[in-house]
Amino acid sequence: MPSFKVLVVDDEFDFLETIVKRLQKRKIDATGVGSGLEALKLLEETSFDILILDVKMPKMDGIETLKEIKRRWPAVEVIMLTGHASVESGMQGMQLGAFDYVMKPAKLDDLIEKMVQAYERKLLREKQIR
């Protein structure tokens, strides 16, 4: 398993706590925050490789957060996570540069596999720019 840093952003506290614990159990360096604004704040201090971003959140939703992240930290790969399959927001998300758009509930193994691919992409892009 390559070592990368993951930030999970979700306003549902129970879900957030569980997923972060389960990822940590798999030896993945995972952190959780409860809103888009908290995520932006944390990104200013700490760098992450991958973000798991819930689409439906109060105040600043996932799409808005994604827009902001891609503007300020274009190298971070973002996987959108959604409870409601919405084609419109899916298209928006992909157009704004998300790596993937995944429906809840997602199997942990699938999610980890997608993270590995997203991380591979991040490394490849860094190599390409250099």
Quick check: 95 binds another protein (CB under 8 A)? yes
The single-letter code of the amino acid at 19 is I
- Stretch near another protein under the rule CB under 8 A, chosen from 2-10, 20-28, 47-55, 98-106: 98-106
Q: How far is CA 57 from CA 67, 70, 82, 111, in A?
A: 14, 18, 10, 20
**Spatial contact of 66 and 53, defined as CB atoms under 8 Å apart:** yes
HSE of 106, CA atoms in CB hemisphere, 13 A: 25
Q: Which is nearer to another protein, 17 or 105 (CB)?
A: 105
Q: Please give the Cα distance from 37 to 68 (Å, whole number).
A: 10
Binding mask 54-93 for another protein (x = CB under 8 A): -----------------xx-x----------xxx--xx--
Binding residues (CB under 8 A) for another protein: these are: 44, 71-72, 74, 85-87, 90-91, 94-95, 97-103, 117, 120-121, 124-125, 128-129
